[in-house]
Structure 1
Amino acid sequence: MALKIGIVGMNGIGNTHAQCYQQDELADLVAVCDVVKERADAAAEKYGVKAYYSLKDMIEHEPDLQIVDVTTGGIDNGSWHFEPAMEAIGYGKHVLVEKPLCHDIREARELYAFAEKQKVYLGCNLNHYFTPPAEKAKQYVDNGEIGELVYCLHKMGFNGGEAGYALAGSPKIKGHPYFHMKAFLTHPFSVMRYFCGDITHIQTFSDRPGFRRSAGDVMVSINSIHVKFANGGVGYLLSQRGDAVYGLGGWWSMEMAGTKGTFCIENCVEKLSYWKAEKGIPAISVQPQAEVTEYGTNDFGSTFNNRLHAFLEDITNGVPREELRANGRDALAVLEYTFAVIESYERGGEVVRPNPLPPLHGDPMSMR
């Protein structure tokens, strides 16, 4: 039976989620909510559902509602996540939150703890690894075809440069130095953690180019981040917000290299290459033959359908909360990494150890 869903926040991303739900057999979108009446009304008419202007009203007038999808934004694209998510959890509803989990790390810790106390599912839209290339790459990892992690390289950003720059005017962005870090680093960190595990050490050298400085732009838009994983491997993340033209690999590339093989995903959804470590190949000058899978698409939008369906599928199947894909603990982890980046930057590039995650206790109903 389809799960009854209400969405709070009907700007761009809320409409993206609504369209996905209307195409999914596991979803029954029954209501939309926005404090801006015109947005709620327009969405309600478009999707043939009821409009509400407060979350409390939506929940109390839709007694069969099972999931609240929080797609609000705010400062750094996250300051309006905490209150509606906490309110929905307080009513015992399962919650999906857009990324980042919260704008403030203390709120994120509280939100995760409250969801655990209430024993509801808390998920986050960490959609960048809900793709066919990532699925196949994970098979390489799980089948032992990568081996022990040696390094991970991830590049993710926006195409741009000085010629196309314009100072952001939105109060959600303007004047906030960590907008790019908080709004964006969740995605690459989530991918790195998905494949390589927990991160124990972080160091960043971050800055902004002269054209931003001249415009009075305070955003720390260039992030060069070095990490160490719990398993001993090392990693590097480069992210920039339209400060340079794309180079090799496009806007999104992720390479994971191990003792038995290496894979590289290009442009998130488009291409996966795998190189197997073999005897007899010279150490330099000769590139091993790659196993290449071209997916024939650049439709990044499909990642939303894939991720939302996975959330609905896990709830339908009643998986243990800690096994929910892209769950609240996963989202908290990558936000802890983001705040460690901020701390490292503020300390002039010192190595920082991210705050440890809450321990997993396991659901006694599923661990018998």
Structure 2
Amino acid sequence: MAVKIGIVGMNGIGNNHAACYRDDELADVIAVCDVVKERADAAAERFGVKAYYTLKDMIENEPDLEVVDITTGGIDNGSWHFEPAMEAIAAGKHVLVEKPLCNDVREGRELVAFAEKRHVYLGCNLNHYFTPPAEKAKQYMDSGEVGELVYCLAKMGFNGGEMNYALAGSDKIKGHPYFHMRAFLTHPFSVMRHFCGDITHIQTFSDRPGFRRNAGDVMVSINSIHVKFANGAVGYLLSQRGDAVYGLGGWWSLEVAGSRGTFCIENCVEKVSFWKAEKGIAPISVQPAPEVTDFGTSDFGRTFNHRLHAFLEDVSGKVSFDRLRASGRDALAVLEYVHAVQESYERGGEVVRPQPLPPFHGDPHVLL
């Protein structure tokens, strides 16, 4: 049976989610909501549903509503997530929140704790690893072909350069030094954690180029981040917001190396290559040919369909809370990492240990 959904925030992302749900047999969007009446009305007409202008009215007038999808934005793309998410959880609704979970780590901690207390699903749109290449890469790991993890290299950001630069005009970006950290680093950190587990140590060397300084732009747009994982592996994340043209690997690449093999995903949805460690390989010999799986697509937009469908599968299948994919807890973990990056930057590049996640208490309906 299709899950009944109400969407809050009918700007670009909200309409994107609604379009994805329209093509999904597990979804039944019954209402949309936006504090800007014109946006709510336009979306309601486009998708053939009822418009609301407050979440309170939508919840009170739609008793069959099961999921509230929060696609609002705000400062650092996340400051308008906390209040509607808390309101929906208080009403006993399952919630999916766009990334980042919140733009303030303290609100993120409170949100996750409240969802656990109310015993509702809280998910986040960590869509970058809901892809065929990521599934193939996870198969390499689960089958033991990667072996003991050694390192993880991630590069995600935007192409650009000085000639393409323009000072941001939006008050949601302008004047906020941590916009790129808070609005974007959720994605690469979520992918790194998906494959390599929890991060225990973070150190960043971050800055902004001269052309941003000369324009009065305070955004810390270049982030060179070193990490250590709980399993002993090390990692590196490079992210920049259009300060240079990206080279090898494109705008999105992830390389994970282990004692038995190494895989590399290129451009998120396009392909994955796997190099198998074989006996007799000399340290500086010619690299053996990889196994390459090319999925024949560059359509990043499909990641939204895959991720939203996975959330609906989990909700309709009533999975145990510890098995919810891309959960609020997962989103909180990467929010803690982003907070640690900010703290490391403010301390001049000191190593920072992110706050560990709260203990998981387990689902009493599942644990015997």
Global fold match (TM > 0.5): yes
Q: Deviations over 1:299-347 (max 9, x none)?
A: 0000000000000001111101111000010000000000000000000
Cross-structure match for 1:91: 91
The CA distance in 2 between the partners of 1:116 and 1:362, in whole Å, is 10
Cross-structure match for 1:41: 41
The CA distance in 1 between the partners of 2:254 and 2:31, in whole Å, is 38
Cross-structure match for 1:149: 149
Q: Deviations over 1:108-128 (max 9, x none)?
A: 000000000000000000000
Aligned positions of 1:224-243 closer than 5 A? 224-243=224-243
Dislocated runs of 4+, deviation >6 Å: none
Shift of 1:286: 0.8
The CA distance in 2 between the partners of 1:254 and 1:85, in whole Å, is 31
Cross-structure match for 2:182: 182
Q: Percent identity?
A: 82
Cross-structure match for 1:58: 58
Shift of 1:136: 0.5
Cross-structure match for 2:77: 77
Matched, 1:22 2:22: yes
Mark the runs of 5 or more structure 1 residues left unpaired by the alignment: none
Cross-structure match for 1:275: 275
Cross-structure match for 2:258: 258
Aligned positions of 1:1-368 closer than 5 A? 1-368=1-368
The CA distance in 2 between the partners of 1:80 and 1:280, in whole Å, is 56
The CA distance in 2 between the partners of 1:80 and 1:292, in whole Å, is 42
The CA distance in 1 between the partners of 2:350 and 2:68, in whole Å, is 40
SS of alignment partner, residue 242 of structure 1 = coil
SS of alignment partner, residue 265 of structure 1 = strand
Q: Deviations over 1:141-196 (max 9, x none)?
A: 11111011100000000000000100001000000000000000000000000000
Paired residues, number: 368
SS of alignment partner, residue 243 of structure 2 = strand
Q: TM-score, normalised by structure 1?
A: 1.00
The CA distance in 1 between the partners of 2:72 and 2:173, in whole Å, is 15
Q: Deviations over 1:232-251 (max 9, x none)?
A: 00000000000000100000
The CA distance in 2 between the partners of 1:280 and 1:234, in whole Å, is 25
SS of alignment partner, residue 248 of structure 1 = coil
SS of alignment partner, residue 243 of structure 1 = coil
The CA distance in 2 between the partners of 1:367 and 1:314, in whole Å, is 18
Mark the runs of 5 or more structure 2 residues left unpaired by the alignment: none
Q: Deviations over 1:203-251 (max 9, x none)?
A: 0000000000000000000000000000000000000000000100000
Q: Deviations over 1:49-97 (max 9, x none)?
A: 0000000000100000000000000000000000000000000000000
Aligned Cα RMSD in Å?
A: 0.4
The CA distance in 2 between the partners of 1:36 and 1:365, in whole Å, is 41
Q: Deviations over 1:2-50 (max 9, x none)?
A: 0100000000000000000010000000000000000000000000000
SS of alignment partner, residue 158 of structure 1 = coil
The CA distance in 1 between the partners of 2:153 and 2:362, in whole Å, is 32
The CA distance in 1 between the partners of 2:276 and 2:367, in whole Å, is 37
Q: TM-score, normalised by structure 2?
A: 1.00
Shift of 1:285: 3.4
SS of alignment partner, residue 273 of structure 2 = strand
The CA distance in 2 between the partners of 1:322 and 1:14, in whole Å, is 27
The CA distance in 2 between the partners of 1:146 and 1:342, in whole Å, is 32
Report which stretch shifted further, 278-287 or 35-44: 278-287
2:43 maps to a residue whose letter is A
Shift of 1:288: 1.4
